[in-house]
Each structure stands twice: as C-alpha cells, then as structure tokens.
Amino acid sequence: MIGTNLVYPVAGLTFTAFALFALRDRRFGSAAFHALIALSFFAGDLIGDIGNGVLVLALVALGGSGAMRKSPPRDDRPAPRGNGLFVPALVIPATALLGTLLFKQLPGLVDPKQATLVALTLGVILALAICLAWLRPSPVTPFAEGRRLMDDIGWAAILPQMLASLGAVFLLAGMGNAVGGIIGHLIPGDSLFGAVLVYCLGMALFTMVMGNAFAAFPVMAAAIGLPLLIGAHHGSPAPIAAIGMLAGFCGTLMTPMAANYNLVPAALLELKDRNGVIKAQIPTALPLLAFNVLLLWAVLR
Amino acid sequence: MLVLLGIAVIAAGFLLRFNPLLVVAASALVTGLCAGIEPLHILAAFGKAFNDSRYVTVVYIVLPVIGLLERYGLQTRARALVTKLRGATTGRLLLGYLLLRQITAALGLTTIAGHPQTVRPLIAPMAEAAAPEGSDPERIRALTAATDNIGLFFGEDIFIAIGSILLMKGVLEGYGIRLEPLQLSVWAIPTAIAAFVIHGTRLLLFDRAARKATR
C-alpha cells in the first residue's frame, strides 16, 4: 500500500539536495541541519526513540546556535515564459484535490490516513516532470532554487514538530491536571458567563503557549469543559467542544509558536518584521474570540 | 504543580527572545524532571513524538517546483494577470481568496493551497499588483498570509474528517460522551461566517485606506 513509504523518501531526497547545495557553498551548519532532517525522513523508524531524541538535540543545537546561514542573494531574472507557467503551479493543487477524492475510492491502493500527503507528493512529482520536460533547466536547478526558499525558512521548519513533541512530554508529566487545578480557582462562583469566558480565553492562551489548539483542548476540556460547562451547567457537549476549539484557533493566529502558519510565511514573503503576519491577524482574531465567547454563552444560557 | 515550571520556561524564553527551538527543548527537560521522569526517558518520549509527527514537515517538497517557476517569472506573470483585470483591488482579490479557501477547506481540501504552494508564488504578487501605486508591499504581503490562515482555520472545522474534529470526538469519548463528527462540525458554521464578515470587512476597509493614502 502506498503511504509514508513514498512520501518520506521523497522528502528525504529533497532535504538531501538542500544539504548538498549548502555543503557546496561551504555553509556547514545549514548542510548538517538539512542532512539530519533527511536522515529523519529516511531512517527515523530504524534508529529508535533515543536515537531520534539525539537527532532532535543535534537539530536544536544547530538551529538554536545561529550556525545556519542564509545562501547569498541572487538577482531575479525577467520573465522569459508566458502564462503557461500557471499550469505546473496549478498542477500541484489540482492533483492534491483529485488524488484526495480518488484515493477514497481505492482504499486498497493508498493508505487512507495518508491520502492527502500521497496526493500532494504525486502532484509535486508531476509538476516537476512537466517543468523539466518543458523548460529544460538543468536537473539540479529546481533544488538550487528550492534551497533558496528553504534557507529563508531556516530553523522554523522544525518548530511544529518540536511543539508536537513537547506536547507528548506535557502529557507524560500530567500538565493537564496541573493547569486544570489552577484555572478551576479563577472562575467566580457558579457564573455561567465566567466559566465560558475562562474556558475560551484559556483555550486561546494555552494555544498561544503551545502553538497548537490540539494540545490545549484536552487540558481545557478536563479543567472546565467537562466538570463545569457540561457537569454543573448541563451544557450540550457538541457546541462546547467545537466552539472551544475555534477559540483556540483564534489563539493560533496570535502566537509565533505556531511557526508554520505565522513565522514561515513571514520568511517566505521576505517580510522585514518577523511578526508581521501575526500583527495583520490580531485585529481579526480578537473580535472573533469575543464572538466565540458570546456564541457559546448564548447557546448554553 | 511543579510541572507548571515548564510553561514558565516557555513564557520566559519568549519574553527574553531566546531561539524557540532552545526554549522548547528546555521546557521539555524542565517539565519532565519536575514530574520525576528519568532524563533518558524524556529524551526517548521527545524523540518518538518527533518521529511520529514528520508528516508536518513534508510540505516543503513543493519548494523546488515553486522556486523553479519563480526563476522563469511566475510572480511576474501573476502580477501581469491582475493588472489586466479591471476593478481588481487588493481587498476584493483577497476577499475572493478568503471565500475560496474557506469553502475548499470546508470540503476537506486543506492542502490545495497554502503559504509555499499558493501565497508566495501567486496570491501575494497579485495582491500587490492590485494595490494603488505607493502602497506598502510589506503590509499587503502580511495581510495575504493572514487571509490564507484565517480562511483555512475557520473553514476546515466544517469538514467532518479533519484532525481537530477527530481529536474532540476522541477526547469526549474518553469521558463516555459519544458524538458523531457531524454534530461537532455544524457548530463550526456560525464562527466561519463571523470570520468571513470580520476579516472581509477589514479587507474592504484596507482598500479604502489605501486609496486615501495614495490620493
């Protein structure tokens, strides 16, 4: 069955190419960083949990110490091709779309859990094949150009994986109960509005710390959602869960910890202000958070 | 109670502007030690979760294609396309993208767009080209990335098989509450509409401000 056995080797090869280009430029920190990510994609399942832990420590040392340097800037060339360039650019989303729909009909061929990733990977391979056949660049040129974009992203590329791992350690350490114990004391008496407010703000704030609403939900559900909103106030579980999660998403819009949504685009768009995307999102996130509080309160009243 | 120090480490690391990778690693160590977990056990748990979440980092395989197309002038073509459209403004263009992103995400098609795939090579250059002369490109690009995020976040939860819906279902089941994904996903609709209204209004107000500033 096709699944991560296709996707991870393709990702490994891509990061190997990024590493080789960095090596050629004598940027050894970046070369080692990208080589380790490639190793993780190729051999992550073979080197054991401790081995993966050591690999992460090495990535943190390289990314956190400023050992990674950007590649030298290049001049943009004028556009020698016409609107045909949109075709390969749109092949990626189109294949992702068709593949996701098609693979659901062929459950034996593609691992259903990985259907979107497999479709995305096939879209990339197809687009690359079209580009190579039509534009006839040197076969290494795509990776040289991709490396330029990857260098803009830098260490932020692995922050989402780091936060998922931190979430696992928090779970192991019983962080949810500890946070729940404290937050429970913040709610005044038996006020429904107070409970809704603390629940939604707690979702947003904890999401901002963890960079991810997925980590915040089990904590806030255990702390307030179940004992107070569902238990004491007899609220309906579905809106409590769904609207709480969306309050968490408002937090995602306001934190640099959500690197893949907030820091990576700032780097990709070459913004001078690393927090530029977050600043553009706060005026939408705050009224929307207030809306979620009022909505949940109105539903439960 | 002591494990809360792990959150304090993150907050302090943030305020002191340490590299987030170092802050996260330090927080994991502090949290684990405070909970009385062996250091090697912490390392193993961290490494296992890192390995299990590799799928997040796969998206960067699109960069070679995008980089190559940019070298042949994709951004320039995207800009040229917009300047031919009469009546195109940054706000209207992004409003259309917001709606498209919300609807496709609500159908579960979250990976058909994104910052590397569509924002950098297509939408951001188009949004810049649709702005009046003399607008601040930095602000337009930031607003484009913000629009992609908002469209994704407040569309995807309407889809019944998205990760967050399955997570909620799983957590509630742990407490003996059984819900169908559809019961959860319908409650994402009011917030999706509110997100479209709030962010859409901001986008149209941006047009007005841009016209005034450059008049």
Query: Worst-scoring range by mean pLDDT, A7-11, A73-77, A157-161, B92-96?
Result: A73-77
Of A133, A158, A183, which one is at a domain's C-terminal end?
A: A158
Number of residues that make up chain A: 301
Q: Is B59 a member of any domain?
A: no
Q: Are residues B115 and B160 in the same domain?
A: yes
- CA angle (B86 as vertex; B81, B87 as ends), nearest 5: 115
Phi, psi values for residue A2, rounded to 5°: -85, 130
Which pLDDT tens digit goes with each residue over A179-223? 877 877 777 778 899 999 999 999 999 899 888 888 888 888 888
Instruction: State what percent of residues in chain A have pLDDT above 90.
Output: 51
Q: Are residues A44 and A136 in the same domain?
A: yes
CA distance A103 to A6: 15
* Cβ <8 Å between A93 and B50: no
Q: Are residues A211 and A256 in the same domain?
A: yes
What is the pLDDT, as a whole number, of residue B89?
93
Q: Are residues B109 and B23 in the same domain?
A: no
Which pLDDT tens digit goes with each residue over B106-133? 887 787 789 998 999 999 999 999 998 8
* Cβ <8 Å between A252 and B194: no
Q: Are residues A245 and A141 in the same domain?
A: no
Q: What's the pLDDT band for A73 if we cut at 50, 70, 90?
A: low
Q: Are residues B87 and B187 in the same domain?
A: yes
Q: Are residues B45 and B119 in the same domain?
A: no
- Flag whether pLDDT at B161 surpasses 80: no
- Into how many domains does chain B fold? 2
Q: Is A45 a member of any domain?
A: yes
Instruction: Kindly report the nearest CA distance between residue B208 and chain A, in angstroms.
Output: 17
Q: Are residues B45 and B73 in the same domain?
A: no
Mean pLDDT value across chain B = 90
CA A94 distance to own-chain centroid: 21
**Local structure of A2: helix, strand or coil:** strand
* Cβ <8 Å between A51 and B48: no
Phi, psi values for residue A234, rounded to 5°: 55, 40
ipTM for the complex? 0.89
Q: Is A8 a member of any domain?
A: yes
What is the pLDDT, as a whole number, of residue B3?
86
Residue of B nearest to A172 (CA): B32
Mean pLDDT value across chain A = 89
Which pLDDT tens digit goes with each residue over A127-151? 999 999 998 888 888 998 899 889 8
CA distance A195 to A186: 9
Q: Are residues B48 and B70 in the same domain?
A: no
Q: Are A224 and A199 in contact (CB under 8 A)?
A: yes
- Flag whether pLDDT at A3 surpasses 80: yes
What is the pLDDT, as a whole number, of residue A212?
85
Q: Are residues B197 and B144 in the same domain?
A: yes
Q: Are residues B201 and B147 in the same domain?
A: yes
Distances (CA, A) of B92 to A105, B82, B86, B144: 37, 12, 12, 12
CA distance B76 to B126: 9
* Cβ <8 Å between B31 and A175: yes
Instruction: Kindly report the nearest CA distance between residue B132 and chain A, in angstroms.
Output: 19
Residue B77 near chain A (CB below 8 Å): yes
Q: Are residues A129 and A267 in the same domain?
A: no
Closest partner residue to A160 (CB to CB) among B56, B71, B202 is B56
Residue of B nearest to A158 (CA): B57
**pLDDT: which is higher, A264 or A227:** A264
What is the pLDDT, as a whole number, of residue A74?
62
Q: Are residues B22 and B93 in the same domain?
A: no
- CA angle (A142 as vertex; A260, B148 as ends), nearest 5: 30
Residue of B nearest to A123 (CA): B62
Q: Are residues B114 and B175 in the same domain?
A: yes
Q: Is B172 a member of any domain?
A: yes
Q: Are residues A148 and A209 in the same domain?
A: no
What is the pLDDT, as a whole number, of residue B76?
85
The residue assigned the tokens 């959150």 is: B7
Domain that holds residue A206: 174-300
Q: Are residues A9 and A114 in the same domain?
A: yes
pTM: 0.87
Instruction: Kindly report the nearest CA distance between residue B116 and chain A, in angstroms.
Output: 7
CA distance A45 to A54: 14
Q: Are residues A202 and A241 in the same domain?
A: yes
Q: Is B32 a member of any domain?
A: yes
Q: Is B94 a member of any domain?
A: yes
Q: Is A166 a member of any domain?
A: no
What is the pLDDT, as a whole number, of residue B201?
97
Instruction: Kindly report the nearest CA distance between residue B91 and chain A, in angstroms.
Output: 14
Q: Is A78 a member of any domain?
A: no
* Cβ <8 Å between B198 and A252: no
- Flag whether pLDDT at A79 surpasses 60: no
What is the pLDDT, as a whole number, of residue A44?
95
Name which of B65, B139, B166, B206 to mutate to probe chain A: the one with the most chain A Cβ atoms within 10 A of its Cβ. Answer: B65
Q: Is B157 a member of any domain?
A: yes
Name which of B7, B123, B153 to mutate to probe chain A: the one with the most chain A Cβ atoms within 10 A of its Cβ. Answer: B153
Q: Are residues B158 and B187 in the same domain?
A: yes
- Into how many domains does chain A fold? 2
Q: Is B58 a member of any domain?
A: no
Q: Are residues B47 and B72 in the same domain?
A: no
Mean pLDDT, rounded, for B5-16: 88
Domain that holds residue B38: 2-52
Residue A51 structure tokens:
């081995």
Closest partner residue to A178 (CB to CB) among B4, B56, B60 is B4
Which pLDDT tens digit goes with each residue over A21-67? 999 988 999 999 999 999 999 999 999 999 999 999 999 999 988 88
DSSP letter at A299 equals H
Q: Is A164 a member of any domain?
A: no
